[in-house]
């Protein structure tokens, strides 16, 4: 076959850091460390340090394709480690320190990690797990105590005179395990090419609005779905990057102000704590222009709160299996003619796909359903940064046409927006119809006295399942069940009304900050509605 006559330029992510070094050598990277100190570096220095680290790994005998793990929050050393590990052809395995011990044991052994770079704050985890981790030969601390040596000394023993390892653009570069609500966690093996294409898509103004003008503070850990790609996209755009090892809202607000942060991203729980803090202290973030919320559904009340303070909200959906960006909400044409509520409704959906992601919904018999804004079905996706097969699995996770079943249930609207109605495991199946737990929760947190809410299905003799709503009251108020019911009635269909509301002090969360419905269902395993028969259709 005759090829075209353009240049061969394999899509390797080392080109990102080379670009950053050439074009944004002075581009600033700020780190707010866990001990409260601030350090500053530049893309030029990060690129040089990453080459030193690549040399240091080779000196340890690490070979291309070997797994190099990190157990760390966001900071400049972690950033250097990302580029250093992949630059010598290694596979960067970002471990989530919030996982349970048996999960930590499983994933490091399954990945066959050879080196572990870790934060001093996680020393207790490392000491506890060392006897169980069978393949890790070297432990290097990113931020050792003053009288100890660690990452800095390790890389500074090298001269940085190093050429990145070249190779196929389809070669693997990263490994991230899904939190795994059931069974063992599963590894997603990213490629240079998939990461580069994801990065290029991320540069679209409709995704996070990143540019050379932007100052971006991702409140997404670098161990969770690649910090939504920000450390890669930052190198491409030359945006000022603010990394923080500490997510307390007071620290975030201080950084927003001192570093003049314009863009940020995080899961709803992060914004929830931020909102509570700002409401209590009256803090402001005068430079913040755009916030991306994803990982769980962004409640309308949260979108409104940010918009009222002049911050544009992009609502993103994605998964570890989709690198992670699948969709993001940004204003469509005709935005200015839309009313305020219409705009909020638009953003409350999970947004549109960037070029490179295809979505469809199917029913239980795998029939493709129309994009009519009404049909709800299992969401499937495909594209060059969507998983084909889990690491070391025997079979593909996607079907022969590339469709990967996300485990989410969604509606596709004629205007191209996608709306998640639930996780397929979480929908409440009442009398053959589906109740969206997300919509119920969203409606509940729209009440100012509700801090957080979770809806689960409880077995019911007549309806199969009926909703139980668990509510955390905001700041010790004493809002009553009747008041919450009055509020809900205005927002959800009468047959969606929960059969019971239970007030709880806190709700369980997963290692990535999402509501853990699994744990909640476990907690309420023996729960039964009183007089279930009489309560049928009460509302
Ligand atoms: P993870 O791989 O841990 O990032 O989890 C991916 C899952 O998070 C998805 O399959 C969804 O169930 C959920 N998710 C991510 N973003 C959103 C969103 N914007 N709204 C609702 N659910 C979301």
pLDDT one digit per residue (tens) for the chain, 539 residues: 899 999 999 999 999 999 999 999 999 999 999 999 999 999 999 999 999 999 999 999 999 999 999 999 999 999 999 999 999 999 999 999 988 899 999 999 999 999 999 999 999 999 999 999 999 999 999 999 999 999 999 999 999 999 999 999 999 999 999 865 567 899 999 999 999 999 999 999 999 999 999 999 999 999 999 999 999 999 999 999 999 999 999 999 999 999 999 999 999 989 988 998 999 999 999 999 999 999 999 999 999 999 999 999 999 999 999 999 999 999 999 999 999 999 999 999 999 999 999 999 999 899 999 999 999 999 999 999 999 999 999 999 999 999 999 999 999 999 999 999 988 889 898 887 889 999 899 999 999 999 999 999 999 888 889 999 999 999 878 999 999 999 999 988 888 999 999 999 999 998 888 889 989 999 999 999 986 655 444 44
Ligand 1 centroid to residue 324 C-alpha, Å: 9
CA distance 132 to 185: 17
Q: What is the pLDDT of residue 536?
A: 45
Strand partners, 241: 29, 216
**Which residue spans within 171-294 are E strands per DSSP?**
172-177, 187-191, 215-218, 240-244, 263-266, 290-294
Burial class (CB in 10 A: 0-12, 13-18, 19+), 534: exposed
pLDDT recorded at residue 434? 84
Q: Is 178 a catalytic residue?
A: yes
Is 9 considered catalytic here?
Answer: no
261 lines ligand 1 (CB under 6 A): no
Closest CA to 90 of 118, 109, 116: 116
Examine the residue annotation and report whether 358 is marked as an active-site residue of this protein.
Answer: no
pLDDT at position 539: 43
Pocket of ligand 1 contains residue 324 by CB under 6 Å: yes
Identify the H or E element spanning 40.
strand 38-42
Would residue 14 show up in a list of annotated catalytic residues for this protein?
no
Distance of CA 201 to the CA centre of its chain: 17
Other CB atoms within 10 Å distance of the CB of residue 308: 9
Q: Is 4 exposed, middle or buried (0-12, 13-18, 19+ CB in 10 A)?
A: exposed
What pLDDT is stored for residue 463 in this prediction? Answer: 87
Site of tokens 């995704």: 207
Among 408, 422, 424, say which to mutate for ligand 1: greatest number of ligand atoms within 8 Å of CB: 408
Establish whether residue 313 lines the binding site of ligand 1, counting it when its CB lies within 6 angstroms of any ligand atom: no
CA of 208 to the centre of ligand 1 (A): 17
For residue 354 and ligand 1, the question of a CB distance below 6 A is answered with no
């Amino acid at each position: 076959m005759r090829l075209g006559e353009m240049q061969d330029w394999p899509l390797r992510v080392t080109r990102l850091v080379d670009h950053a070094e050439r074009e944004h050598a002075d581009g600033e990277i700020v780190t707010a460390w866990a001990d409260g100190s601030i350090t500053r570096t530049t893309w030029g220095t990060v690129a040089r340090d990453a080459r030193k680290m690549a040399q240091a790994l080779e000196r340890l005998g690490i070979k291309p394709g070997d797994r190099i793990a990190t157990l760390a929050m966001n900071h400049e050393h972690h950033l250097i480690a990302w580029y250093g590990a992949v630059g010598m052809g290694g596979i960067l395995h970002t471990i989530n320190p919030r996982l349970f011990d048996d999960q930590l044991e499983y994933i490091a052994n399954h990945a066959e990690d050879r080196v572990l770079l870790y934060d001093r704050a996680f020393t207790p985890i490392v000491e506890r797990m060392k006897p169980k981790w069978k393949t890790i030969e070297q432990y290097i601390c990113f931020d050792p105590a003053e009288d100890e040596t660690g990452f800095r000394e390790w890389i500074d023993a090298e001269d940085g005179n190093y050429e990145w390892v070249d190779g196929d653009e389809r070669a693997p570069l990263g490994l991230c395990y899904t939190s795994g609500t059931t069974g063992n966690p599963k590894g997603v093996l990213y490629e240079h090419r998939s990461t580069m294409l994801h990065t290029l898509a991320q540069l679209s103004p409709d995704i996070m609005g990143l540019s050379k003008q932007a100052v971006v503070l991702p409140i997404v850990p670098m161990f969770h779905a690649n910090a939504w790609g920000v450390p890669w996209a930052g190198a491409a755009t030359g945006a000022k990057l603010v990394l923080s090892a500490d997510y307390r809202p007071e620290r975030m607000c201080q950084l927003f102000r001192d570093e003049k942060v314009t863009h940020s991203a995080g899961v709803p729980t992060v914004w929830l704590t931020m909102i509570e803090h700002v409401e209590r202290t009256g803090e402001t973030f005068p430079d913040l222009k755009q916030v991306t919320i994803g990982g769980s559904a962004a409640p309308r009340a949260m979108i409104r709160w940010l918009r009222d303070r002049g911050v544009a909200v992009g609502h993103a959906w994605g998964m570890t299996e989709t690198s992670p960006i699948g969709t993001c909400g940004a204003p469509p044409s005709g935005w200015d003619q839309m009313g305020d509520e219409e705009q909020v409704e638009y953003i409350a959906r999970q947004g549109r796909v960037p070029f490179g992601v295809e979505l469809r919904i199917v029913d239980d018999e795998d029939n493709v359903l129309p994009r009519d804004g009404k049909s709800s079905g299992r969401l499937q996706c495909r594209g060059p940064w969507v998983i084909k097969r889990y690491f070391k699995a025997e079979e593909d996770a996607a079907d022969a046409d590339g469709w990967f079943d996300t485990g989410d249930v969604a509606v596709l609207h004629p205007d191209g927006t996608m709306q998640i109605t639930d996780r397929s495991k979480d929908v409440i199946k009442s009398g053959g119809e589906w109740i969206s737990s997300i919509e119920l929760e969203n409606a509940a947190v729209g009440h100012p006295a509700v801090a957080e809410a979770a809806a689960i299905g409880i077995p019911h003799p007549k309806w199969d399942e009926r909703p139980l709503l668990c509510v955390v009251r905001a700041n010790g108020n004493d809002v009553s069940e009747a008041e919450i019911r009055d509020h809900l009635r205005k927002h959800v269909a009468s047959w969606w009304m929960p059969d019971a509301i239970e007030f709880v002090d806190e709700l369980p969360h997963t290692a990535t900050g999402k509501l853990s419905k699994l744990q909640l269902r476990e907690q309420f395993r023996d729960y039964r509605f009183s007089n279930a028969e009489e309560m049928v259709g009460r509302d």
